[in-house]
Structure 1
Amino acid sequence: MQGRVHSTESFGSADGPGVRFIIFLKGCPMRCSYCHNPDTWAAEGAEMIEADELLDRAERYRSYWGPEGGITVSGGEALLQTEFVLDLFTKAKARGINTCLDTSLAPFTRNEPYFGTFTKLMDVCDLVMADIKHIDPEEHKKLTGRDNANILDCLRYLSQIGQPLWIRHVLVPGITDVDEYLYRTRDFIAELGNCVKRVEVLPYHTLGIFKWDELNIPYKLRDVDPPTPERTERAQRILRGEM
């Protein structure tokens, strides 16, 4: 089995605990207005690589990982290739490697055969880092092009099985940086209980605009400035239930 790989990063420090080898897979069903990797959207143009080869590459850097490090699979959207990630994580656990999945959860469904594969994947996944793009269904559609009902359903399921979660939320002025939505997001996160190990607010940035320009894709948020440190801190406190 081969995966459609966009690229890898040897020393990731912001994509899970410890130092991590990050595997960016190709293909994504979302079209987030603030995406900084639109070059990962299309499935075409990927490097086809088997799981063992990726793990051999990763283990070259194992001495740098420390007790918490390992591999993180990101995207694009990794769950478009659930069977490959299952193969990769199963082989990683056999080598004693910590596994982390960075995902929007957009492909999730309880329909078979997908759901059965997904449940097996969770058995070999140490941590899920999940983005909540927007808590409001209509605003989520505007922001990403897709509904969020299955995403929230997936998070509830992960809570039910006790899957460790890090929740991430991109703070975009005028879109997600709205107190009403932040408090609704906080209430939803609270419902997930103790499986949520960390909540991170990621300030919107414009560092990926050049990729949109190179791909000739209109960038709708060009006039939106990043949030101030004060707004970012306020959002962080709200989502963590501190105010």
Structure 2
Amino acid sequence: MLEIIRSDSPQATVHIIDDDPNLRMSLLNFFESTAICADAFGTADEFLDNADLSLPGCILLDVRLPGMTGIELQARLKAMGYPLPIIFMSGNANVAISVHAMKEGAFDFLLKPFDGETLIETTLLAFKRNLELRDQTAAFLQSRACVETLTPRETEVFAYVSEGMMNKQIAYEMKISEIMVKLHRGRMMKKLQARSLVDVVRKFDQMHEAKRMKVDTTRPLEVEDLRS
């Protein structure tokens, strides 16, 4: 399954966070033997202070840590907007904690001790998910850059067209002539580099997918944030 890690991507890294030094070393040696890049930290604060969160990868996180717990770190990363998938690990089958972690977006929950095959498979699937999220974010940012070149009128037409409305209906809603709608629509499609209605809808959907992913949108898009 190593082909999951794309050759054109930066080196994906699994960040091990556990307060047991023997387990950290064991996991580091294991990942090294499978040609997977890994680093290790004893606490959540150490991880936050030293890990490069801009690179692709995932987190192998112990639930119980001194200071900030694994669950608390999950909440912190979620609030910071980092989409690194989290694989929780625990020596105790605490159903309440595992259910909470999964509801908050954990990628998986492994019980110690876990076998090497399961660990490798889960880690590589988490890498794959992170690369997908990064691709979605990049597509959103590209679409957003195009959308932000639209005038307020063109943005409004963009929203109406994406809802499947005909030019005549849009003209009625905007209280302008159908000729003006066609003019705004043509300019809108050119700026969005859209060749068809399908392209327009795809870019519109990317705006809403970004909101679901909680991608940072530092600048408003007008027209009720594209019919939010």
Q: Which structure is larger by alpha-carbon Rg, 1 or 2?
A: 2
Structure with bigger strand share is 1
Structure with bigger helix share is 2
Give the alignment's TM-score, normalised by structure 2: 0.31
